[in-house]
Chain A
Amino acid sequence: MAFSFYFFIYLALSQMWNLLAGYAKLFSLGPQAFIGLSVYMFTVALNYWRWILPTSLLIACLFAVVSAVAISFLIFRMKGIYFAVGTLLFSEILRIWFTTWGYTRGTYGISLNLTLPFQYIYCLSVGVGALSTTIIWIISESNFGLSLKAIGDDEDLAQHMGVHVFKYKLACFIISTLMTGLAGCIYYLYPSYVHPNSVFNILWLFIASVATFVGGVRTVEGPIIGSFILVLLRQWLIDYPGLGYLLFGLMLVVIVAIFPKGIIEFLRRFLRR
Protein backbone atom coordinates (compact mmCIF):
# COMPACT_ATOMS: atom_id res chain seq x y z
CA MET A 1 0.00 0.00 0.00
CA ALA A 2 2.69 2.46 0.98
CA PHE A 3 4.54 1.47 -2.16
CA SER A 4 1.92 2.84 -4.49
CA PHE A 5 1.38 5.89 -2.29
CA TYR A 6 4.95 6.92 -3.06
CA PHE A 7 4.44 5.95 -6.67
CA PHE A 8 1.59 8.41 -7.17
CA ILE A 9 3.41 11.22 -5.41
CA TYR A 10 6.56 10.65 -7.44
CA LEU A 11 4.38 10.42 -10.53
CA ALA A 12 2.83 13.81 -9.90
CA LEU A 13 6.19 15.38 -9.18
CA SER A 14 7.90 13.96 -12.22
CA GLN A 15 5.00 14.74 -14.58
CA MET A 16 5.17 18.34 -13.47
CA TRP A 17 8.94 18.48 -13.69
CA ASN A 18 8.66 16.98 -17.14
CA LEU A 19 6.25 19.73 -18.12
CA LEU A 20 8.87 22.33 -17.35
CA ALA A 21 12.00 20.47 -18.36
CA GLY A 22 10.83 18.12 -21.06
CA TYR A 23 8.44 20.32 -23.01
CA ALA A 24 9.66 23.85 -22.43
CA LYS A 25 13.25 22.89 -21.66
CA LEU A 26 13.14 24.88 -18.45
CA PHE A 27 15.35 22.70 -16.30
CA SER A 28 14.28 23.67 -12.85
CA LEU A 29 16.71 22.44 -10.24
CA GLY A 30 14.47 23.81 -7.56
CA PRO A 31 11.08 22.05 -7.47
CA GLN A 32 11.74 21.53 -3.79
CA ALA A 33 11.41 25.28 -3.31
CA PHE A 34 7.71 25.03 -4.14
CA ILE A 35 7.23 21.79 -2.28
CA GLY A 36 8.64 23.53 0.77
CA LEU A 37 6.66 26.73 0.33
CA SER A 38 3.38 24.94 -0.23
CA VAL A 39 3.89 22.49 2.59
CA TYR A 40 4.76 25.24 5.03
CA MET A 41 1.82 27.36 3.96
CA PHE A 42 -0.39 24.30 4.37
CA THR A 43 1.04 23.68 7.82
CA VAL A 44 0.59 27.29 8.86
CA ALA A 45 -2.99 27.31 7.58
CA LEU A 46 -3.76 24.04 9.30
CA ASN A 47 -1.98 24.43 12.62
CA TYR A 48 -1.78 28.16 13.22
CA TRP A 49 -4.82 29.52 11.46
CA ARG A 50 -6.87 26.42 12.15
CA TRP A 51 -8.46 25.91 8.79
CA ILE A 52 -9.70 22.46 7.87
CA LEU A 53 -7.87 20.22 5.46
CA PRO A 54 -9.41 21.16 2.10
CA THR A 55 -9.19 24.89 2.81
CA SER A 56 -5.60 24.56 3.94
CA LEU A 57 -4.73 22.72 0.77
CA LEU A 58 -6.41 25.43 -1.24
CA ILE A 59 -4.50 28.15 0.59
CA ALA A 60 -1.26 26.26 0.05
CA CYS A 61 -1.93 25.97 -3.67
CA LEU A 62 -2.81 29.63 -4.00
CA PHE A 63 0.35 30.54 -2.18
CA ALA A 64 2.38 28.38 -4.55
CA VAL A 65 0.85 30.18 -7.51
CA VAL A 66 1.48 33.59 -6.00
CA SER A 67 5.10 32.83 -5.24
CA ALA A 68 5.61 31.38 -8.70
CA VAL A 69 4.30 34.57 -10.27
CA ALA A 70 6.35 36.67 -7.88
CA ILE A 71 9.69 35.16 -8.78
CA SER A 72 8.89 34.57 -12.43
CA PHE A 73 9.98 38.08 -13.38
CA LEU A 74 13.35 37.49 -11.81
CA ILE A 75 13.74 33.89 -12.86
CA PHE A 76 12.77 34.17 -16.51
CA ARG A 77 15.47 36.73 -17.13
CA MET A 78 17.93 33.88 -16.85
CA LYS A 79 18.35 31.62 -19.81
CA GLY A 80 19.14 27.94 -20.07
CA ILE A 81 21.62 26.66 -17.55
CA TYR A 82 21.60 29.94 -15.68
CA PHE A 83 17.89 29.43 -15.10
CA ALA A 84 18.63 25.99 -13.70
CA VAL A 85 21.14 27.20 -11.18
CA GLY A 86 18.97 30.20 -10.40
CA THR A 87 16.15 27.93 -9.31
CA LEU A 88 18.59 25.93 -7.25
CA LEU A 89 19.85 29.06 -5.54
CA PHE A 90 16.26 30.10 -4.87
CA SER A 91 15.46 26.83 -3.17
CA GLU A 92 18.66 26.86 -1.11
CA ILE A 93 17.97 30.40 0.06
CA LEU A 94 14.51 29.30 1.15
CA ARG A 95 15.86 26.24 2.90
CA ILE A 96 18.33 28.27 4.94
CA TRP A 97 15.65 30.83 5.72
CA PHE A 98 13.24 28.22 6.97
CA THR A 99 15.83 26.51 9.14
CA THR A 100 16.17 29.73 11.09
CA TRP A 101 12.71 31.27 11.02
CA GLY A 102 11.17 31.14 14.45
CA TYR A 103 7.57 31.46 13.27
CA THR A 104 7.77 28.05 11.64
CA ARG A 105 9.88 26.66 14.46
CA GLY A 106 13.05 26.31 12.41
CA THR A 107 14.83 23.02 12.88
CA TYR A 108 12.42 21.74 15.50
CA GLY A 109 9.94 21.06 12.76
CA ILE A 110 6.18 21.11 13.01
CA SER A 111 3.83 18.24 13.62
CA LEU A 112 0.59 18.48 11.71
CA ASN A 113 -2.55 18.80 13.85
CA LEU A 114 -4.19 16.15 11.80
CA THR A 115 -4.64 12.44 11.96
CA LEU A 116 -6.09 11.04 8.81
CA PRO A 117 -6.72 7.37 8.12
CA PHE A 118 -4.27 6.12 5.56
CA GLN A 119 -7.05 5.29 3.09
CA TYR A 120 -7.92 8.99 2.77
CA ILE A 121 -4.31 9.98 2.25
CA TYR A 122 -3.90 7.21 -0.28
CA CYS A 123 -6.96 8.35 -2.21
CA LEU A 124 -5.62 11.87 -2.27
CA SER A 125 -2.31 10.64 -3.62
CA VAL A 126 -3.99 8.65 -6.36
CA GLY A 127 -5.99 11.75 -7.12
CA VAL A 128 -3.02 14.01 -7.46
CA GLY A 129 -1.07 11.46 -9.50
CA ALA A 130 -3.96 10.88 -11.87
CA LEU A 131 -4.70 14.59 -12.10
CA SER A 132 -1.10 15.44 -13.01
CA THR A 133 -0.97 12.77 -15.66
CA THR A 134 -4.28 13.92 -17.11
CA ILE A 135 -3.11 17.51 -17.20
CA ILE A 136 0.07 16.54 -18.97
CA TRP A 137 -1.84 14.38 -21.40
CA ILE A 138 -4.24 17.20 -22.23
CA ILE A 139 -1.41 19.66 -22.63
CA SER A 140 0.63 17.35 -24.81
CA GLU A 141 -2.26 17.05 -27.27
CA SER A 142 -3.07 20.74 -27.28
CA ASN A 143 -1.85 23.91 -28.93
CA PHE A 144 -0.51 25.02 -25.62
CA GLY A 145 1.74 21.98 -25.54
CA LEU A 146 2.84 22.66 -29.08
CA SER A 147 3.81 26.19 -28.15
CA LEU A 148 5.74 24.91 -25.15
CA LYS A 149 7.65 22.48 -27.31
CA ALA A 150 8.42 25.31 -29.72
CA ILE A 151 9.71 27.40 -26.85
CA GLY A 152 11.77 24.48 -25.66
CA ASP A 153 13.30 23.83 -29.05
CA ASP A 154 14.21 27.38 -29.90
CA GLU A 155 12.92 30.19 -27.80
CA ASP A 156 13.87 33.06 -30.07
CA LEU A 157 12.43 31.38 -33.11
CA ALA A 158 9.21 30.67 -31.25
CA GLN A 159 8.99 34.30 -30.31
CA HIS A 160 9.42 35.33 -33.93
CA MET A 161 6.76 32.87 -34.99
CA GLY A 162 4.33 34.67 -32.77
CA VAL A 163 4.38 32.62 -29.59
CA HIS A 164 4.02 34.86 -26.59
CA VAL A 165 6.95 33.28 -24.82
CA PHE A 166 6.73 34.89 -21.41
CA LYS A 167 3.02 34.24 -21.05
CA TYR A 168 3.34 30.56 -21.95
CA LYS A 169 6.38 30.03 -19.77
CA LEU A 170 4.52 31.64 -16.89
CA ALA A 171 1.43 29.49 -17.45
CA CYS A 172 3.53 26.38 -17.61
CA PHE A 173 5.44 27.41 -14.50
CA ILE A 174 2.23 28.10 -12.57
CA ILE A 175 0.69 24.75 -13.45
CA SER A 176 3.88 22.97 -12.54
CA THR A 177 4.39 24.68 -9.20
CA LEU A 178 0.76 24.35 -8.23
CA MET A 179 0.67 20.60 -8.75
CA THR A 180 4.15 20.12 -7.33
CA GLY A 181 3.09 21.95 -4.19
CA LEU A 182 -0.13 19.98 -3.94
CA ALA A 183 1.71 16.68 -4.31
CA GLY A 184 4.16 17.80 -1.64
CA CYS A 185 1.38 18.64 0.80
CA ILE A 186 -0.29 15.29 0.29
CA TYR A 187 3.02 13.53 0.73
CA TYR A 188 3.53 15.12 4.13
CA LEU A 189 0.08 14.06 5.32
CA TYR A 190 1.58 10.63 5.84
CA PRO A 191 4.51 11.26 8.22
CA SER A 192 2.61 14.29 9.53
CA TYR A 193 5.85 16.06 10.37
CA VAL A 194 7.38 18.98 8.53
CA HIS A 195 11.04 19.96 8.69
CA PRO A 196 12.95 22.37 6.45
CA ASN A 197 15.74 19.95 5.60
CA SER A 198 13.14 17.47 4.49
CA VAL A 199 10.80 19.64 2.44
CA PHE A 200 13.54 21.71 0.83
CA ASN A 201 15.79 18.76 0.28
CA ILE A 202 17.50 18.50 -3.07
CA LEU A 203 16.51 14.82 -3.11
CA TRP A 204 13.11 15.92 -4.44
CA LEU A 205 14.88 17.21 -7.50
CA PHE A 206 16.72 13.95 -7.89
CA ILE A 207 13.48 11.99 -7.71
CA ALA A 208 11.66 14.16 -10.22
CA SER A 209 14.54 14.36 -12.66
CA VAL A 210 15.61 10.73 -12.53
CA ALA A 211 12.03 9.51 -12.94
CA THR A 212 11.58 11.83 -15.91
CA PHE A 213 14.81 10.98 -17.69
CA VAL A 214 14.76 7.28 -17.06
CA GLY A 215 11.23 7.09 -18.36
CA GLY A 216 11.43 9.54 -21.19
CA VAL A 217 11.37 13.30 -21.48
CA ARG A 218 8.54 14.97 -23.30
CA THR A 219 6.28 11.97 -23.05
CA VAL A 220 3.28 11.26 -20.91
CA GLU A 221 4.20 7.65 -20.23
CA GLY A 222 7.81 8.40 -19.39
CA PRO A 223 7.35 9.64 -15.84
CA ILE A 224 4.97 6.73 -15.19
CA ILE A 225 7.64 4.17 -15.95
CA GLY A 226 10.34 6.26 -14.32
CA SER A 227 8.39 6.67 -11.08
CA PHE A 228 7.62 2.98 -11.03
CA ILE A 229 11.27 2.02 -11.32
CA LEU A 230 12.22 4.59 -8.73
CA VAL A 231 9.71 3.33 -6.20
CA LEU A 232 10.87 -0.25 -6.77
CA LEU A 233 14.44 0.79 -6.10
CA ARG A 234 13.35 2.66 -3.01
CA GLN A 235 11.63 -0.41 -1.61
CA TRP A 236 14.64 -2.65 -2.17
CA LEU A 237 17.05 -0.25 -0.60
CA ILE A 238 14.94 1.10 2.23
CA ASP A 239 17.46 -0.12 4.78
CA TYR A 240 20.41 1.56 3.13
CA PRO A 241 19.53 5.25 2.79
CA GLY A 242 22.59 6.57 1.06
CA LEU A 243 22.90 3.60 -1.25
CA GLY A 244 19.48 4.17 -2.77
CA TYR A 245 20.24 7.69 -3.88
CA LEU A 246 23.67 6.63 -4.99
CA LEU A 247 22.03 4.20 -7.35
CA PHE A 248 19.55 6.86 -8.49
CA GLY A 249 22.51 9.00 -9.49
CA LEU A 250 24.34 6.22 -11.27
CA MET A 251 21.15 5.20 -12.98
CA LEU A 252 20.64 8.73 -14.23
CA VAL A 253 24.14 8.75 -15.65
CA VAL A 254 23.81 5.38 -17.31
CA ILE A 255 20.35 6.02 -18.74
CA VAL A 256 21.25 9.44 -20.06
CA ALA A 257 24.43 8.06 -21.55
CA ILE A 258 22.81 5.09 -23.27
CA PHE A 259 19.24 6.18 -23.89
CA PRO A 260 19.27 9.97 -24.05
CA LYS A 261 15.55 10.02 -24.67
CA GLY A 262 14.72 7.56 -21.94
CA ILE A 263 13.35 4.08 -21.85
CA ILE A 264 10.11 5.01 -23.62
CA GLU A 265 11.93 6.09 -26.72
CA PHE A 266 13.97 2.92 -26.68
CA LEU A 267 10.81 0.85 -26.36
CA ARG A 268 9.10 2.74 -29.14
CA ARG A 269 11.96 2.18 -31.52
CA PHE A 270 12.17 -1.42 -30.47
CA LEU A 271 8.48 -2.03 -31.06
CA ARG A 272 8.49 -0.20 -34.35
CA ARG A 273 10.87 -2.75 -35.79
Chain B
Amino acid sequence: MIILNLLLLGLLLGSLYGLIGIGFSMVFATTSILNLMHGDMLIMSAYIALSVVWLGVEPLMTILVVFPAIFCLSFILFYFFLRRYLRLGSDLIFLIVLGLSMAIENSLQVIYGTTPRSLAPYTWYGSLGLDLKIVVLPAIYIIAFAVSLITTLALYWFLKNTYIGKAIRATSNDLLGAEIVGIQSSIVMAIAFGLASAIAAIGGPILGLSMSFDAYSGLTFTLISFGILVLGGAGSIRGAFIGGEILGLAQILSSYYLGPAYQFMMSYIVILIVLAVKPTGLLGGRV
Protein backbone atom coordinates (compact mmCIF):
# COMPACT_ATOMS: atom_id res chain seq x y z
CA MET B 1 0.00 0.00 0.00
CA ILE B 2 2.54 2.49 -1.12
CA ILE B 3 0.02 5.26 -1.72
CA LEU B 4 -1.12 5.20 1.89
CA ASN B 5 2.44 5.44 3.06
CA LEU B 6 3.06 8.37 0.75
CA LEU B 7 -0.09 10.16 1.88
CA LEU B 8 0.84 9.79 5.52
CA LEU B 9 4.38 10.97 4.92
CA GLY B 10 3.01 13.94 3.03
CA LEU B 11 0.71 14.81 5.90
CA LEU B 12 3.51 14.54 8.43
CA LEU B 13 5.83 16.71 6.38
CA GLY B 14 2.99 19.09 5.60
CA SER B 15 2.46 19.87 9.26
CA LEU B 16 6.04 21.08 9.43
CA TYR B 17 5.49 23.28 6.40
CA GLY B 18 2.33 24.61 8.00
CA LEU B 19 4.36 25.58 11.03
CA ILE B 20 6.96 27.33 8.91
CA GLY B 21 4.37 29.09 6.82
CA ILE B 22 2.21 30.38 9.67
CA GLY B 23 4.83 32.94 10.61
CA PHE B 24 5.05 34.28 7.08
CA SER B 25 1.29 34.52 6.87
CA MET B 26 1.06 36.24 10.23
CA VAL B 27 3.67 38.84 9.31
CA PHE B 28 1.88 39.60 6.07
CA ALA B 29 -1.46 39.92 7.81
CA THR B 30 -0.13 42.20 10.52
CA THR B 31 2.37 44.36 8.66
CA SER B 32 1.64 43.83 4.95
CA ILE B 33 5.28 42.90 4.47
CA LEU B 34 6.29 39.90 2.41
CA ASN B 35 9.08 38.74 4.63
CA LEU B 36 11.55 37.38 2.10
CA MET B 37 13.94 36.63 4.93
CA HIS B 38 11.58 34.10 6.43
CA GLY B 39 13.22 31.06 4.88
CA ASP B 40 16.63 32.44 5.70
CA MET B 41 15.68 32.85 9.36
CA LEU B 42 14.63 29.22 9.26
CA ILE B 43 17.94 28.13 7.82
CA MET B 44 19.83 30.40 10.19
CA SER B 45 18.10 28.69 13.08
CA ALA B 46 19.02 25.32 11.58
CA TYR B 47 22.66 26.41 11.47
CA ILE B 48 22.54 27.75 15.02
CA ALA B 49 21.06 24.43 16.06
CA LEU B 50 23.90 22.70 14.24
CA SER B 51 26.48 24.75 16.10
CA VAL B 52 24.81 23.98 19.42
CA VAL B 53 24.70 20.30 18.50
CA TRP B 54 28.45 20.43 17.81
CA LEU B 55 28.82 21.44 21.44
CA GLY B 56 27.18 18.19 22.38
CA VAL B 57 23.54 19.03 22.82
CA GLU B 58 20.74 16.75 21.68
CA PRO B 59 19.13 18.27 18.57
CA LEU B 60 15.63 18.68 19.91
CA MET B 61 16.91 20.58 22.92
CA THR B 62 18.29 23.21 20.59
CA ILE B 63 14.74 24.47 20.16
CA LEU B 64 15.07 26.02 23.59
CA VAL B 65 18.09 27.98 22.41
CA VAL B 66 16.91 28.87 18.96
CA PHE B 67 13.43 30.10 19.83
CA PRO B 68 14.41 32.98 22.13
CA ALA B 69 17.51 33.82 20.08
CA ILE B 70 15.63 34.27 16.83
CA PHE B 71 12.75 36.01 18.59
CA CYS B 72 15.05 38.64 20.06
CA LEU B 73 16.95 39.06 16.82
CA SER B 74 13.80 39.54 14.77
CA PHE B 75 12.14 41.79 17.29
CA ILE B 76 15.16 44.08 17.43
CA LEU B 77 15.52 44.03 13.65
CA PHE B 78 11.92 45.05 13.18
CA TYR B 79 11.54 47.53 15.98
CA PHE B 80 14.74 49.47 15.42
CA PHE B 81 15.10 49.21 11.69
CA LEU B 82 12.32 47.88 9.53
CA ARG B 83 9.63 49.82 11.30
CA ARG B 84 10.84 53.16 9.96
CA TYR B 85 10.34 52.12 6.38
CA LEU B 86 6.80 50.86 6.74
CA ARG B 87 5.34 54.21 5.87
CA LEU B 88 7.40 54.56 2.71
CA GLY B 89 5.59 51.91 0.77
CA SER B 90 5.92 48.23 0.17
CA ASP B 91 8.51 48.53 -2.59
CA LEU B 92 11.15 49.85 -0.26
CA ILE B 93 10.60 47.29 2.47
CA PHE B 94 10.61 44.60 -0.16
CA LEU B 95 14.06 45.61 -1.32
CA ILE B 96 15.41 45.93 2.18
CA VAL B 97 14.17 42.47 3.03
CA LEU B 98 15.61 41.17 -0.23
CA GLY B 99 18.97 42.69 0.58
CA LEU B 100 18.91 41.27 4.09
CA SER B 101 18.01 37.88 2.69
CA MET B 102 21.05 38.08 0.39
CA ALA B 103 23.17 39.14 3.33
CA ILE B 104 22.01 36.33 5.59
CA GLU B 105 22.39 33.62 2.97
CA ASN B 106 25.86 34.68 2.02
CA SER B 107 27.07 35.21 5.56
CA LEU B 108 25.91 31.70 6.37
CA GLN B 109 27.87 30.51 3.37
CA VAL B 110 30.95 32.38 4.50
CA ILE B 111 30.69 31.01 8.04
CA TYR B 112 29.64 27.45 7.38
CA GLY B 113 30.76 26.73 3.84
CA THR B 114 28.86 25.18 1.00
CA THR B 115 28.58 21.56 2.04
CA PRO B 116 25.03 20.41 2.70
CA ARG B 117 24.38 19.72 6.37
CA SER B 118 21.98 17.63 8.37
CA LEU B 119 21.23 17.15 12.04
CA ALA B 120 20.08 13.57 11.63
CA PRO B 121 23.51 11.94 12.11
CA TYR B 122 23.66 13.43 15.61
CA THR B 123 20.65 11.56 16.89
CA TRP B 124 20.03 8.00 18.02
CA TYR B 125 16.68 7.88 16.28
CA GLY B 126 17.90 9.27 12.97
CA SER B 127 17.50 6.08 11.04
CA LEU B 128 14.69 4.53 13.03
CA GLY B 129 11.20 4.10 11.77
CA LEU B 130 7.83 3.06 13.04
CA ASP B 131 6.84 -0.15 11.33
CA LEU B 132 3.09 -0.62 11.28
CA LYS B 133 3.07 -3.41 8.73
CA ILE B 134 1.06 -1.51 6.10
CA VAL B 135 3.06 1.68 6.48
CA VAL B 136 6.53 2.56 7.60
CA LEU B 137 7.03 6.03 9.04
CA PRO B 138 10.46 7.47 9.82
CA ALA B 139 10.77 8.47 13.45
CA ILE B 140 11.97 11.92 12.46
CA TYR B 141 8.80 12.68 10.54
CA ILE B 142 6.67 11.61 13.49
CA ILE B 143 8.65 13.88 15.77
CA ALA B 144 8.31 16.69 13.24
CA PHE B 145 4.57 16.21 13.20
CA ALA B 146 4.35 16.14 16.99
CA VAL B 147 6.39 19.31 17.42
CA SER B 148 4.51 21.11 14.66
CA LEU B 149 1.12 20.13 16.00
CA ILE B 150 1.94 21.14 19.56
CA THR B 151 3.42 24.46 18.46
CA THR B 152 0.51 25.23 16.14
CA LEU B 153 -2.02 24.51 18.88
CA ALA B 154 0.01 26.58 21.31
CA LEU B 155 0.04 29.45 18.86
CA TYR B 156 -3.69 29.14 18.32
CA TRP B 157 -4.27 29.24 22.07
CA PHE B 158 -1.90 32.20 22.38
CA LEU B 159 -3.65 34.22 19.70
CA LYS B 160 -7.06 33.46 21.10
CA ASN B 161 -6.55 33.83 24.81
CA THR B 162 -3.74 36.20 25.66
CA TYR B 163 -3.79 39.97 25.51
CA ILE B 164 -0.86 40.14 23.13
CA GLY B 165 -2.39 37.48 20.94
CA LYS B 166 -5.60 39.40 20.66
CA ALA B 167 -3.65 42.58 20.01
CA ILE B 168 -1.90 40.88 17.12
CA ARG B 169 -5.18 39.70 15.67
CA ALA B 170 -6.67 43.15 16.09
CA THR B 171 -3.76 44.80 14.34
CA SER B 172 -3.99 42.43 11.41
CA ASN B 173 -7.73 42.93 11.12
CA ASP B 174 -7.83 46.68 11.22
CA LEU B 175 -4.74 48.68 11.97
CA LEU B 176 -6.45 51.99 12.55
CA GLY B 177 -9.13 50.47 14.71
CA ALA B 178 -6.55 48.73 16.84
CA GLU B 179 -4.64 51.93 17.36
CA ILE B 180 -7.81 53.74 18.32
CA VAL B 181 -8.52 51.30 21.10
CA GLY B 182 -5.06 51.89 22.46
CA ILE B 183 -2.96 49.12 21.00
CA GLN B 184 0.63 50.17 20.40
CA SER B 185 0.80 48.94 16.84
CA SER B 186 4.56 49.34 16.49
CA ILE B 187 5.32 47.10 19.46
CA VAL B 188 2.63 44.63 18.50
CA MET B 189 3.96 44.40 14.96
CA ALA B 190 7.45 43.88 16.27
CA ILE B 191 6.22 41.12 18.57
CA ALA B 192 4.31 39.52 15.72
CA PHE B 193 7.38 39.66 13.51
CA GLY B 194 9.58 38.26 16.25
CA LEU B 195 7.09 35.54 17.06
CA ALA B 196 6.67 34.60 13.42
CA SER B 197 10.39 34.21 12.92
CA ALA B 198 10.75 32.39 16.24
CA ILE B 199 8.09 29.88 15.27
CA ALA B 200 9.84 29.32 11.98
CA ALA B 201 12.97 28.93 14.08
CA ILE B 202 11.35 26.04 15.92
CA GLY B 203 11.01 24.48 12.52
CA GLY B 204 14.73 24.96 11.98
CA PRO B 205 16.16 22.07 14.00
CA ILE B 206 13.24 19.91 12.94
CA LEU B 207 13.96 20.68 9.32
CA GLY B 208 17.61 19.99 9.90
CA LEU B 209 16.59 16.56 11.14
CA SER B 210 14.21 15.83 8.28
CA MET B 211 16.32 16.90 5.34
CA SER B 212 19.68 18.28 4.40
CA PHE B 213 20.17 22.01 3.99
CA ASP B 214 22.80 24.50 2.91
CA ALA B 215 23.26 28.26 3.14
CA TYR B 216 21.07 28.94 0.13
CA SER B 217 18.17 26.65 1.09
CA GLY B 218 16.36 29.61 2.58
CA LEU B 219 14.91 30.57 -0.76
CA THR B 220 13.11 27.27 -1.15
CA PHE B 221 11.38 27.63 2.19
CA THR B 222 10.56 31.28 1.66
CA LEU B 223 8.80 30.22 -1.52
CA ILE B 224 6.98 27.45 0.32
CA SER B 225 5.95 29.89 3.02
CA PHE B 226 4.70 32.21 0.31
CA GLY B 227 2.79 29.29 -1.10
CA ILE B 228 1.19 28.70 2.25
CA LEU B 229 0.20 32.35 2.41
CA VAL B 230 -1.37 32.08 -1.02
CA LEU B 231 -3.08 28.77 -0.35
CA GLY B 232 -4.30 29.43 3.16
CA GLY B 233 -5.06 33.10 3.15
CA ALA B 234 -3.37 35.78 5.21
CA GLY B 235 -3.37 35.35 8.96
CA SER B 236 -5.34 32.14 9.05
CA ILE B 237 -3.76 29.39 11.14
CA ARG B 238 -6.18 26.79 9.88
CA GLY B 239 -5.49 27.90 6.32
CA ALA B 240 -1.75 27.81 6.84
CA PHE B 241 -1.96 24.30 8.23
CA ILE B 242 -4.07 23.06 5.33
CA GLY B 243 -1.85 24.87 2.84
CA GLY B 244 1.14 23.22 4.40
CA GLU B 245 -0.47 19.82 4.09
CA ILE B 246 -1.24 20.41 0.43
CA LEU B 247 2.36 21.35 -0.29
CA GLY B 248 3.70 18.50 1.80
CA LEU B 249 1.57 16.02 -0.10
CA ALA B 250 2.55 17.56 -3.43
CA GLN B 251 6.19 17.21 -2.52
CA ILE B 252 6.09 13.62 -1.29
CA LEU B 253 3.88 12.40 -4.11
CA SER B 254 5.96 14.03 -6.81
CA SER B 255 9.12 12.84 -5.13
CA TYR B 256 7.92 9.27 -5.51
CA TYR B 257 6.20 9.39 -8.88
CA LEU B 258 8.49 11.84 -10.65
CA GLY B 259 11.73 11.46 -8.75
CA PRO B 260 13.36 13.24 -5.81
CA ALA B 261 14.89 15.90 -8.02
CA TYR B 262 11.43 17.15 -8.93
CA GLN B 263 10.01 17.34 -5.44
CA PHE B 264 9.93 21.08 -4.99
CA MET B 265 9.04 21.77 -8.57
CA MET B 266 5.57 20.33 -8.22
CA SER B 267 4.92 22.40 -5.10
CA TYR B 268 6.04 25.54 -6.94
CA ILE B 269 3.77 24.75 -9.86
CA VAL B 270 0.82 24.31 -7.53
CA ILE B 271 1.59 27.64 -5.89
CA LEU B 272 1.99 29.39 -9.23
CA ILE B 273 -1.36 28.12 -10.46
CA VAL B 274 -3.20 29.12 -7.30
CA LEU B 275 -1.42 32.48 -7.42
CA ALA B 276 -2.69 33.13 -10.92
CA VAL B 277 -6.19 31.85 -10.34
CA LYS B 278 -7.12 32.73 -6.77
CA PRO B 279 -4.42 34.72 -4.98
CA THR B 280 -6.59 35.37 -1.96
CA GLY B 281 -6.22 31.76 -1.00
CA LEU B 282 -8.19 28.59 -1.47
CA LEU B 283 -10.00 29.25 1.77
CA GLY B 284 -10.89 32.83 1.04
CA GLY B 285 -9.83 35.96 2.90
CA ARG B 286 -8.41 39.29 1.89
CA VAL B 287 -5.54 39.76 -0.52
Interface residues of A (CB under 8 A from B): 25, 27, 29, 74-75, 77-78, 80-82, 84-86, 88-90, 92-93, 96-97, 99-100, 202, 206, 209-210, 213, 240-246, 248-253, 256-257, 260
Once bound together, how far apart are the Cα atoms of A92 and B271, in whole Å? 12
Supplied contacts A82-B230, A96-B261, A249-B106, 16 more A-B pairs, CB within 8 Å? A29-B98, A77-B276, A78-B279, A85-B34, A93-B265, A99-B261, A100-B262, A202-B219, A209-B95, A210-B99, A242-B110, A246-B102, A252-B99, A253-B96, A260-B88, A260-B92
Q: Does B91 contact A (CB under 8 A)?
A: yes
Nearest residue, chain A, Cβ from B271: A89
Once bound together, how far apart are the Cα atoms of A243 and B106, in whole Å? 7
Nearest residue, chain B, Cβ from A25: B91
| Pair A78/B276 contact, Cβ less than 8 Å | yes
Q: List 19 A-B contacts (CB under 8 A).
A: A29-B98, A89-B275, A90-B272, A92-B219, A93-B265, A93-B269, A96-B264, A96-B268, A99-B261, A206-B102, A242-B107, A245-B102, A249-B98, A249-B104, A249-B105, A250-B99, A253-B96, A253-B99, A253-B100
Cβ distance B224 to chain A, nearest Cβ, rounded Å:
10
Cβ distance A235 to chain B, nearest Cβ, rounded Å:
17
Nearest residue, chain A, Cβ from B89: A260
Of the candidates B94, B215, B219, the one whose C-beta lies within 8 Å of that of A84 is B94
Q: Does B223 contact A (CB under 8 A)?
A: yes
Also in contact, A253 and B103, with CB within 8 A (given A92-B219, A96-B262, A246-B110):
yes
Cβ distance A18 to chain B, nearest Cβ, rounded Å:
13
Of the candidates B94, B104, B106, B268, the one whose C-beta lies within 8 Å of that of A92 is B268
| Pair A92/B223 contact, Cβ less than 8 Å | yes
Cβ distance A230 to chain B, nearest Cβ, rounded Å:
13
| Pair B92/A256 contact, Cβ less than 8 Å | yes
Q: Does B85 contact A (CB under 8 A)?
A: yes
Once bound together, how far apart are the Cα atoms of A244 and B219, in whole Å? 19
Of the candidates A86, A100, A246, A256, the one whose C-beta lies within 8 Å of that of B107 is A246
Once bound together, how far apart are the Cα atoms of A206 and B102, in whole Å? 8
Residues of A within 8 A of B269 (CB): 93
Q: Indicate with 1 or 0, residue by residue over B50-92, a CB within 8 angstroms of chain A CB atoms.
A: 0000000000000000000000000000000000010010111
Interface residues of B (CB under 8 A from A): 34, 85, 88, 90-92, 94-96, 98-107, 109-110, 215, 219-220, 223, 226, 230, 259, 261-262, 264-265, 268-269, 271-272, 275-277, 279
| Pair B92/A89 contact, Cβ less than 8 Å | no
Once bound together, how far apart are the Cα atoms of A243 and B108, in whole Å? 10
| Pair A249/B99 contact, Cβ less than 8 Å | yes
Identify the 6 closest CB pairs spanning chains A and B, nearest first: A249-B102, A252-B99, A249-B103, A246-B106, A253-B99, A242-B109
Nearest residue, chain A, Cβ from B112: A242
| Pair A93/B275 contact, Cβ less than 8 Å | no
Once bound together, how far apart are the Cα atoms of A155 and B34, in whole Å? 21
Of the candidates B85, B90, B92, B264, the one whose C-beta lies within 8 Å of that of A81 is B90
Residues of A within 8 A of B101 (CB): 249
Of the candidates B88, B102, B261, the one whose C-beta lies within 8 Å of that of A100 is B261
Also in contact, A213 and B95, with CB within 8 A (given A242-B109, A249-B103):
yes
Cβ distance B106 to chain A, nearest Cβ, rounded Å:
4
| Pair A82/B99 contact, Cβ less than 8 Å | no
Once bound together, how far apart are the Cα atoms of A97 and B262, in whole Å? 7
Also in contact, A82 and B275, with CB within 8 A (given A246-B102, A253-B96):
yes
Residues of B within 8 A of A96 (CB): 261-262, 264-265, 268
Residues of B within 8 A of A82 (CB): 230, 275, 279
Residues of A within 8 A of B226 (CB): 85
Residues of B within 8 A of A244 (CB): 106
Once bound together, how far apart are the Cα atoms of A50 and B207, in whole Å? 46
Among B91, B96, B100, B220: residue with most chain A CB under 10 A: B91
